[in-house]
Structure formats: structure tokens, C-alpha cells
Structure 1
Amino acid sequence: MFESLFGSKTRVKLLSLFYNNPNRPYYVREITRKVDEQINSVRRELSNLLAIGIIRSEGNNNKLYYEVDQDYQFYAPLRAIFTNVTLDEPDLHDAQQDNDLIKKLRATGKVQLAFETGSFVRDPSVNIDLFLMGDLNRSRVSKLVTEMEQELGREINYTVMTPEEFGYRQRLNDRFLSNVLGAKKIMLVDETNTKVKPAPAALEGDVAEVAVPVEIKSR
């Protein structure tokens, strides 16, 4: 029925993917894996949805990312339709994937704060993709991130902080931490009720005064 109404099975799958995950950007090959359709068909339908204005695109790190345009005039009614669409493909909604990731994160130790940012939300202003705070086994974290990289087919930069370092940086209004907490994010774990505030505009061009080492994975 939906294929008849909206033109093609691929288009319905794309709309379901985007409207069930309105804050997640995707690149073409990632979309192709999730909807399990031919890449040429996916590219054609993405072009159609872009022309209509339902989705938008933006380049980041030599990749073109697509996400639903929440300013589109019919965003609300279309989302109401497609959040109720049940298709055979289990990957169309990422909520279960988030739950699986949270379970794996908790297996690395006592996680107090965890969120995805940077490339996960198409924000080039943030130089990390995954932020973790807690009493964690760092070798387990490294292994988990490697698994994520293999699954996604791209590099993931991440930061791990102990509760002590996190508190110290907060007290000193550390620019790095303020920027990360103020950036667009997908929250996974928050047992601290962290007050998320953007970094003050006056600090944008300044050099951070706090020189506490931070682990950022970059190969």
C-alpha cells in the first residue's frame, strides 16, 4: 500500500529510516546497508527527496550526509505516518542499536555519561565522535570502538574521562569540555544530570588555559 502511495519501495524505506531517526545523518553506503536496496536506486530516491525538500544534505570529511529536514512544511504529518510504518528490515530504526551499544558500553565499566557527537551528528566543529565518562576499562573501550569502526567502515575519535578529571575540568570551565557538552549530540547514558551549556562566545578564539591531557583516538 505504501509503495503505491509514495512511488516505490525504496522511497518508503528511506522515509521510514529518516523519520524514525530524525536527528541522525547518514551517508549513502550506510543508507544502502540499512534499507537493503541497490545503491543506484537509493541515490535516485535521495535525489528525489532532496528536490522535494523532505531531506537535506551536507558534506563533511569528504562524505555527503543526508538527514530529514525538520523545517519542511509537512514534516509533522509525514513523521506521524512513517513512525507507524512497520517494515521487514530491522535496521530502519536505530533505537535497538542504541540499546545494544549502551549494553556494550556498560560492559566496559561504570559509565556515568556517554554520548555520540561529531561525525555521528554531522558537526565538524567537534573533533571527537564519542564521549565517555566514568570508571572504565580502557582496553575494553578500545576494543569496542574498534568493533564500531569495523561495522561503520570509518574511523571514530573518542575521549574517555574519569569522574575526577571531568569534575576538575568543569570547575575550571575548561574550553574543550564546554564545547563538547554544548555541541549537538545523541545521548546514550546520563546518570549525572549534566548541565549541558554551550561554550561562551567570547572563548571561541581563545587558547584553552587548562592543559589536562585528554585521550583522543586518531589513527
Structure 2
Amino acid sequence: MLFLYNNSGKKANCFSPPDKEGIFLRKFALKFDSPYNIVMLEKIFGSRTRVKLFRLFLTNEDKEFFVREISRTIDEQINSVRRELTSLEKVGILKSQQRDKKKYYKANKNFELFQELRSLILKARVTQERGFIQSIKKLGNIRYLALTGYFMNNTEQEVDLLIVGDISRDKLNKLLAKFKESFGTHLRFTVMPHEEYVYRKDVTDKFLYSIINSDKIVVVDNLKG
């Protein structure tokens, strides 16, 4: 069962409207099959670079990015990025402004089909995450698995995955390398045995509590068993 937690540690109301990151949608869609995937999106949008740009801007709708930053973030050639940015701005999906000799791009939330495009991208992301989660569960005995950081659009969080249990780090690294292209980034993780988790929690370990108190999606929680 999946639980959504806010930074106060309380479970979110399942009947509340989606928040601006669309986490509500992703939480429930993770349980069900979705017809969207990266291949389908490439066919719809025309190129992998464009798909990555959609994912970047539509899941960070209030954030601005400059060209070189975008190129590094989505790991695509800068000329390809510039070409797609120009096209998306002409269509009206993106808007830009010049500041400090740099051109910054941002999602245009007033674009007529903004919400529909955002929903499509989020559903595609859910499909990737669901497959990723199932693969992680096969790596060993996992007592606790939480998705944070990247999965919650929190760039300040130090890790994206917290895993408590007995799994092979080598196998996990290989799995992360396999999914790197799908997510567009290398996910950061922390793995600890149950005994270490209990000890760190008892001594109020700062690093552990920075994860516990952050927004997160808890996928597995068998710590009390």
C-alpha cells in the first residue's frame, strides 16, 4: 500500500484535490496500469529531447531554467535543446525572459492545453516509477522504501531513495544505471539494515530525520513487523 506524507509527517487526505506537483495523481496511478510510456510520448512529441523538456518544465512548472542548465539537466546536446526550446516557445508552451545576459525559460501555465499535457507527462512518469519500484522489490528483503527528492520535485533533498533492509548495493547500482535514461538523472540512495535504522532514529540522526520529515511517498513500510 502507498501512503503520501507531507513534511509534518501526517498522511494526506485521500479525498483532497491534487497539489500543484500532481503527487495525488501519481500516488493513486502507481496502483493501476497506464497506457502511457516513453515510446508513446516520443511518437506524440516527435523527439526524446522534446519529451525530456516536457518532463522538466511540466513537473517544475514554477521554476525557470537557462539553456546550459537545461542541457546538463536532461543530458542532451545544447543545439538540440535550443532548437526544441525555440519551437516550444513559438507554440506557446514555454515563455522566456532575458536576465543577467541569460535567457531563462519557464512553463506557460496559461497555455490552453497546459493541464492536459501535464497530466499526460505525469501519467508517463508514473508508469516508469511503477516499473522501477517493482524492480527494486525484487532485489532483496526490503522492510521500508520511501521515494523522496527527485520523485517529489525536491532538488534540495540529498537522496531520492531510502531503503531499509537487506539488498545488494551492486545490484541496486546496476538497476539505477538501467533506469537512468528513463528518469533523465542518476538517482541517489541510502540503504541501511534495520538495526542501523533503529539506532539512527533513537539517537535522532540528523541525516535520517531530514528524510523522515521531508515530503515522500512510502511504498513499503514493514518496520513495525
The two structures have a TM-score, normalised by structure 2, of: 0.49
How many residue pairs get aligned? The number is 160
Question: Is residue 158 from structure 1 mapped to residue 189 from structure 2 by the alignment?
Answer: yes
**One-letter amino acid of the counterpart of residue 121, structure 1:** N
**Within 5 Å, which residues of 2 pair with 1:1-219?**
17=55, 21=59, 27-28=70-71, 38-45=80-87, 49-51=94-96, 74=110, 80-82=115-117, 93-111=124-142, 112-117=144-149, 121-124=153-156, 126-149=157-180, 155-185=186-216, 187=217, 189-192=219-222
Where does structure 1 lack aligned partners over 5 or more consecutive residues?
Answer: 1-7, 53-64, 195-219
- Percent same amino acid among aligned pairs? 21
CA distance in 2, matches of 1:92, 1:28: 24
Q: Could you tell me how far 1:172 is from its partner in structure 2?
A: 2.1
Gaps of 5+ in 2: 1-44, 98-103
What SS does the aligned partner of 2:155 have?
coil
The aligned amino acid for 2:146 is A
Q: Give the alignment's Cα RMSD to 1 decimal.
A: 4.8
Q: Using the alignment, how far apart are the partners of 1:164 and 1:180 within structure 2?
A: 17
Work out the CA distance in 2 between the residues paired with 1:80 and 1:142: 35
For residue 114 of structure 1, give the secondary structure of its aligned residue in structure 2: strand
CA distance in 2 between counterparts of 1:17 and 1:121 reads: 11
1:109 shift after superposition = 1.2
Query: Aligned partners of 2:74 and 2:168: how far apart in 1?
Result: 32
Question: Structure 2: how far apart are the matches of 1:66 and 1:192?
Answer: 43
Q: Deviation per CA, 1:168-214, whole angstroms, max 9, x where unpaired? A: 222222111111223355x36232599xxxxxxxxxxxxxxxxxxxx
Q: Flag the 1:22–1:138 CA change in 2: closer, same or farther, 3 A.
A: same
Distance 1:168 1:120, change over 3 A: same
Q: Quick one: which amino acid aligns to residue 114 of structure 1?
A: A
Cα 1:121–1:22 change in 2 (3 A) is closer
CA drift of 1:45 comes to 4.7
SS in structure 1 at match of 2:132:
helix
Contact 2:152–2:215 (8 Å) recurs in 1:
no
